[in-house]
Amino acid sequence: MSNPFDLSGRRALVTSANTGIGQAIALALAQAGAEVICAGRRPSDETVAMIGSAGGVATSLLVDFSDPMAGQGLFEGRGIDILINNAGIIRRNDAVDFTEEDWDDVMDVNLKALFFTTQAFARAVFAVGGTGAVVNIASLLTFQGGIRVPSYTAAKHGVAGLTKLLANEWAASGINVNAVAPGYIETNNTAALREDPARSGAILDRIPAGRWGQASDIAGAVVYLCTPAAGYVHGAVLNVDGGWLAR
């Protein structure tokens, strides 16, 4: 009997896989049997080395997604059938002081590049009559407003909408499109929050699981959505937040 969680023979591209959640996703996909291409504006040499030392296959590819069209031409001839849209940035300021530049920078990477990269992926898959899986990385701010992050919140709300729209269009054609919404995860991006006793305490008090998440918690959910086990899952936004949104 075949293993519905096996990704052997599949080739995945993970954006921004040099550290944090992206790195954990790349490692988990490789552990499940996939060959992994780590694409981003910084080299993913550490991730590639970690996968290689564990017996997997991975390469690093420099792509700067601050250019929303950087993904065009990225998939032709590469045989990629899994796309993980993890690249993202954030800008913080009060809404009354937020600049057009900070708005555009975030929207370009977090939403526009995500759409056009996914479009290029689907075109390549359809051109060879293949099938595939897309997992977008959303956020708690896909569902909540947050504070002082207007462009990030708008973009992450948009990620949910695009996930559903693309699932509607492509589900019958063999591409599964879903998203994972991480909660508070121990990464470099949350270091300042975790080092603030009052803020960290308030966050932990809200999380039913009673702990910050690990990047591997997100990786496991992403791998699931890429496997045959999730073959009938389309347009879902899976919260991996320790129960934060249920509170």
Using CA atoms, how far apart are residues 123 and 235, in angstroms rounded to an integer?
Answer: 19
Instruction: Say if residues 133 and 175 touch (Cβ distance below 8 Å).
Output: yes
* DSSP for residue 142: G
Dump pLDDT digits (tens) for 89-105: 999 999 999 999 999 99
Low-confidence ranges of the chain (pLDDT < 50): none
How much is the pTM? 0.97
Using CA atoms, how far apart are residues 19 and 173, in angstroms rounded to an integer?
Answer: 33
Which is catalytic among the residues 152, 184, 224, 232? 152
152 is catalytic: yes
pLDDT of residue 207: 97
For residue 68, what are the CA distances in angstroms to 76, 81, 86, 93, 114? 18, 21, 14, 23, 8
Alpha-carbon torsion 154, 215, 134, 102, what sign? positive
Domain spans in the chain, listed from the N-terminal domain onward? 11-238
CATH of 11-238, one of 1.10.287.610, 3.10.105.10, 3.40.50.720, 2.40.50.110: 3.40.50.720
Dump pLDDT digits (tens) for 4-26: 999 999 999 999 999 999 999 99
